[in-house]
């Protein structure tokens, strides 16, 4: 590693994906015929040619260390000719053409503390944001709540016994860099107090017109304070969205006693049966309670099992397929809210 290369490259874009595709994928690209889930967390995809690829899917915490990536690479080198991929929900997938490798991959990846699962009618990995690990606007932590919730719901990751897929997402503030607004269950960090204003810093750091324009309810107004231009907040009009704080760092909203999370239910993005839907407010506020947010965990578990237990169980004992949480709400809101309480 040299600090100054002879030629400075820019605008090269990402590596071409073909460089990283397993040979069986290249040979059968666009010619896959069908797929099957062999066991929770294990897919086989069969091509028109008869070729097969096995994918072993395991949860990760999204936040992952160099030593762990190397351990995953060791497994992929040993069993997958060096090929692995990640899913859109931060699961790692080991790709192999040899069925006999499934067992070994499962054992080794589970030995590293990464459960195999997340396929079919399960709760797959919770997509989430940075939280206290790396964000300035977080109203709650992200990784900690995800860990606490998934620790309690792990059986639904490693089994496929739910009535349908269930997608949980977490965003630690309303900016929603995790775009959780179309999830079966969304955990959303919220503030509940207006910003405080540091007039002295604001004068040096913030553009007042931008700050005023950032407020969706026109609660932020220009004023003169001690002869200097600044802003005021009409507190009754503030809905604590923190958009002013995003454009002006001198208006923090973080408040340990009043920040927390809200829970939203019934959203989805896939088009099957019903069109994509937004999640709707179910629990307006639960205070932050680190490290394990027991009240949040309990409320999420409750929502999951109220939904799961209310599904039609068929005469042959199989759970009726594919009522996502969203259409389940056809019963009316008061029903699920009533049952969830």
Partner 1 sequence: MAETTKATGKLAELTTGPYPSFVKEIEAAAENNKMAQDLIGLLELSYNEKLCHWKHGGIVGVMGYGGGVIGRYCDEPEKFPNVSHFHTLRVNQPAGWFYKTEALRKICDMWEVRGSSIFNIHGSTGDIVLLGTTTPQLEPVFNDLTKMGFDLGGSGSVLRTPSCCVGPARCEWAMYDTLKCAYEQTMAFQDELHRPYFPYKFKFKFSGCPNDCVASIARSDMSFIGTWKDDIQIDKDKVLWYAEEKKLDIQNVVVDRCPTKCMAWDGKELHIDNRNCSRCMHCINVMHLALKPGKERGCTILLGAKAPILEGAQMSSVLIPFMKMEPPYNEDEPSYEDLPELIDAIWELWGEEGKNRERVGEFIQRIGMSNFLDAIGLEPVAEMVKHPRENPYVFYELGDDEDEGEEE
In the range 241-280, which residues lie near partner 1 by CB under 8 A? 241, 243, 246-247, 249, 254, 256-257, 259, 269-276, 278
Using CB under 8 A as the binding criterion, the count of chain residues that bind partner 1 stands at 117
Helix (H) or strand (E) holding 286: strand 280-287
Asked if 206 contacts 243 with a C-beta cutoff of 8 angstroms, the reply is: no
Q: Read off the tokens for 15.
A: 């590596």
Interface with partner 1, residue 204, by CB under 8 A: no
Cα 60 → chain centroid: 12
Residues 13-52 vs partner 1: string with x where CB under 8 A? xxxxx-xxxx--x---xx-xxxx---------x-------
36 CB-near residues (< 8 Å, 6+ apart):
43, 44, 46
Contacts to partner 1 from residues 291-310, by CB under 8 A: 291-292
166 binds partner 1 (CB under 8 A): no
Q: Is 63 near partner 1 (CB under 8 A)? A: yes
Which residue among 64, 223, 337, 340 contacts partner 1 (CB under 8 A)? 64
Among 115, 163, 194, 195, binds partner 1 (CB under 8 A): 115
CB closer to partner 1, 5 vs 227: 5
Residue whose CB is less far from partner 1, 228 or 274: 274
In 3D, which of 299, 262, 290, 260 has the Cα closest to residue 187? 262
Looking at 23, 27, 49, 77, which residue binds partner 1 (CB under 8 A)? 77
Residue 338 interacts with partner 1 (CB under 8 A)?
Answer: no
- When asked if residue 8 is in the footprint of partner 1 (CB under 8 A), the reply is yes
The full DSSP string for 138-193 is -SS-SHHHHHHHHHHHHHHHH---SSS-B-EEEESSTT-TT--TTSSEEEEEE--S
Determine if the peptide bond prior to 291 is cis (ω within 30°).
yes
């Amino acid at each position: 590693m040299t600090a100054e290369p002879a030629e400075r490259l820019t605008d090269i874009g990402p590596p071409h994906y073909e460089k990283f595709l397993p040979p069986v994928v290249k040979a059968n690209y666009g010619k896959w015929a069908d797929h099957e889930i062999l066991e929770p967390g294990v897919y086989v995809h069969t091509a028109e040619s008869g070729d097969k690829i096995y994918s072993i899917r395991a949860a990760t915490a999204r936040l992952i260390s160099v030593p762990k990536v190397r351990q995953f690479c060791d497994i992929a080198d040993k069993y997958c000719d060096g090929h692995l991929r990640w899913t859109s929900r931060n699961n790692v997938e080991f790709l192999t053409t040899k069925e006999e490798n499934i067992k070994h991959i499962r054992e080794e990846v589970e030995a590293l503390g990464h459960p195999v699962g997340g396929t079919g009618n399960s709760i797959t990995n919770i997509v989430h944001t940075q939280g206290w690990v790396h964000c300035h606007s977080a109203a709650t932590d992200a990784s900690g709540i995800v860990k606490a919730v998934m620790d309690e719901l792990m059986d639904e990751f490693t089994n496929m016994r739910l009535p349908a897929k269930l997608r949980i997402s977490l965003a630690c503030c309303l900016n929603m860099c995790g775009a959780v607004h179309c999830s079966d269950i969304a955990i959303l960090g919220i503030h509940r107090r207006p910003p405080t204003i540091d007039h002295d810093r604001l004068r040096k750091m913030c553009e007042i017109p931008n700050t005023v324009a950032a407020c969706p309810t026109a609660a932020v107004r220009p004023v003169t304070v001690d002869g200097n231009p600044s802003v005021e907040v009409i507190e009754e009009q503030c809905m604590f969205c923190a958009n002013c704080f995003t454009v002006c760092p001198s208006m923090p909203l973080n408040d340990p006693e009043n920040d927390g999370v809200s829970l939203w239910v019934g959203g989805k993005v896939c088009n099957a049966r019903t069109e994509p839907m937004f999640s709707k407010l179910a629990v307006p506020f639960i205070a932050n309670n680190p490290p394990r947010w027991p009240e949040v965990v309990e409320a999420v578990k409750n929502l999951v099992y109220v939904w799961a237990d209310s599904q039609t169980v068929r005469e042959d004992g199989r759970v009726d397929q594919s009522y996502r949480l969203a259409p389940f709400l056809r019963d009316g809101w008061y029903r699920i809210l009533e049952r969830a309480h």
